């Protein structure tokens, strides 16, 4: 919708990295968008600041203890305030044209799923939704007649590269990986990498969880599972190639040998603008791609030996059932434990591997038939991981 009717947005995860990039585009296009609700985890001061400038009807904070401070910071406005997990769902259900799903982790599953069930259009940055509960999640979208808009850069590039092609003609879908900060490091050096080293991503500026996932390359594994669900493509047709310049984000290979690629400067506002404008294109102040200035684009095979998390995710995708759900939950807790200094970098993949074996052994990795069942598995694995890692 254009000038006459601004597109009404709900932004879940408003205080995060994707939230900030989304809000940057919204603020540059005040006639095009209005924000009806904002939700965040615990940073009530940042949420209040955003609310005062964007003037939504409703703001929700996950941390119940932040309710008083948020309420006080918004005194004198007519913005309604809610706290706790139900308030996040309430934000997701506000009457809107598009829900931007940018909470980090499986915490995003319930509100995003609620929005889909209510028939809202959803732009999905939160890949963990599809790793934790992919099949039931996609069934809900289908039932509601909603096409999820991929906001993750690789999936957005593939979505654009597909150009509405007949799925039967697709031979291969490839996502690229920057390789992260440890692309050229030895296995021994990676094992002992510090938190500061893991948080120094070469190309993208992102929240801490996804930045660590990029360093282990678990992020690419999660993205393969995400692609499988988003595009309905079997694991055998999915591929990863390491591309340190992060200029080509995703490729589609067709039966006639043609390959289309989605490209752009590594700035999340490119895919975000595509989703916010869709099906139109909006202008965005993103860096323009200058191929001659870049000069060389390189590609290499991923190394499963140095990046075992990628292998674990590929195996979970291949085995299916509840293993992706287990993988995701164990990884979230292991990343938290690493960031808290409780386990070494190499311990992340070791923990995920142990958690998968434990789940196979005790039958908790059964295929979840609903989002609720996926969240039950998620909860069990999380508790067990917390106990094991003392996280």
Q: Which residues are annotated as a binding site?
A: 15-18, 41-42, 126-128, 152-154, 178, 201, 207, 214, 219-220, 223
180 contributes a contact to ligand NAD by CB under 6 A: no
333 contributes a contact to ligand NAD by CB under 6 A: no
Q: How far apart are CA 286 and CA 282, in angstroms?
A: 11
The residue from 9, 10, 18, 26 that contacts ligand NAD (CB under 6 A) is 18
**Could you tell me the smallest distance in angstroms from the CB atom of residue 91 to ligand NAD?**
9
Instruction: Output the six-digit token pair for 43.
Output: 């940073």
233 contributes a contact to ligand NAD by CB under 6 A: no
**CA distances for 160 relative to 54, 119, 163, angstroms:** 30, 23, 6
CA atoms within 13 A on the CB side of 215: 33
Please identify which residue in the block is written with the tokens 């870049």.
Answer: 294
Annotated binding site for NADPH: 15-18, 41-42, 126, 128, 207
What does the angle CA 89 – CA 92 – CA 94 come to, to the nearest 5 degrees?
115
Question: One symbol per residue from 87 to 106: x for binding ligand NAD (CB under 6 A), - otherwise; what is it?
Answer: -x-------------xxx--
200 contributes a contact to ligand NAD by CB under 6 A: no
What is the number of the residue whose Cβ is closest to Mg ion? 152
What does the angle CA 368 – CA 370 – CA 372 come to, to the nearest 5 degrees?
95
Q: How far apart are CA 274 and CA 271, in angstroms?
A: 5
Q: How far apart are CA 152 and CA 124, in angstroms?
A: 7
Nearer to Mg ion, 128 or 154 (CB): 154
Choose the binding region for Mg ion from 83-91, 151-159, 266-274, 306-314 (rule: CB under 5 A).
Answer: 151-159
The residue from 40, 242, 263, 337 that contacts ligand NAD (CB under 6 A) is 40
**Could you tell me the smallest distance in angstroms from the CB atom of residue 247 to Mg ion?**
14
Contact 312, 327 (CB under 8 A): yes
Kindly determine how many residues on this chain lie close enough to bind ligand NAD according to the rule CB under 6 A: 28
81 contributes a contact to ligand NAD by CB under 6 A: no
């Amino acid at each position: 919708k254009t000038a006459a009717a601004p597109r009404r947005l709900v932004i879940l995860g408003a205080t995060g990295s994707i939230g900030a990039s989304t809000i940057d585009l919204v603020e540059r296009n005040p006639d095009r968008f209005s924000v009806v609700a904002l939700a965040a985890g615990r940073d009530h001061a940042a949420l209040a600041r955003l609310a005062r400038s964007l003037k939504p009807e409703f703001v929700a904070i996950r941390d119940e203890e932040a309710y008083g401070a948020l309420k006080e910071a918004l005194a004198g406005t007519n913005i309604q305030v809610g706290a706790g997990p139900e308030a996040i769902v309430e934000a997701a259900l506000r009457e809107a044209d598009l829900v931007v799903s940018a909470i980090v982790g499986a915490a995003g599953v319930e509100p995003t799923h609620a929005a889909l069930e209510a028939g809202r259009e959803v732009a999905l940055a939160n890949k963990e939704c599809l790793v934790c509960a992919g099949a039931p999640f996609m069934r809900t979208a289908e039932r509601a007649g909603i096409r999820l808009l991929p906001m993750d850069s690789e999936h957005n590039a593939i979505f654009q590269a597909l150009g509405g092609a007949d799925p039967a003609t697709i031979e291969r879908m490839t996502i690229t990986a920057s390789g992260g900060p440890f692309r050229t490091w030895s296995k021994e050096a990676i094992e002992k990498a510090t938190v500061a080293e893991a948080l120094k991503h070469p190309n993208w500026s992102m929240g801490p969880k996804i930045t660590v996932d990029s360093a282990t390359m678990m992020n690419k594994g999660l993205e393969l599972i995400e692609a499988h669900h988003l595009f309905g493509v079997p694991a055998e047709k999915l591929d990863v190639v390491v591309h340190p310049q992060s200029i080509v984000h995703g490729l589609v290979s067709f039966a006639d040998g043609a390959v289309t690629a989605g490209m752009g400067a590594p700035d999340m506002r490119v895919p975000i603008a595509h989703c916010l404008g869709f099906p139109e294109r909006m202008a965005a102040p993103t860096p323009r791609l200058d191929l001659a200035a870049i000069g060389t684009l390189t590609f290499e095979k991923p190394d499963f030996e140095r990046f075992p998390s990628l292998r674990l995710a590929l195996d979970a995708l291949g085995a299916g059932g509840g293993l992706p759900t287990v993988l995701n939950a164990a990884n979230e807790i292991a990343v938290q434990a690493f960031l808290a200094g409780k386990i070494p970098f190499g311990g992340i993949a070791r923990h995920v591997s142990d958690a998968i074996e434990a789940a196979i052994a005790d039958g908790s990795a059964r295929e979840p038939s609903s989002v609720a069942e996926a969240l039950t598995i998620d909860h069990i694995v999380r508790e067990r991981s917390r106990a094991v890692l003392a996280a």
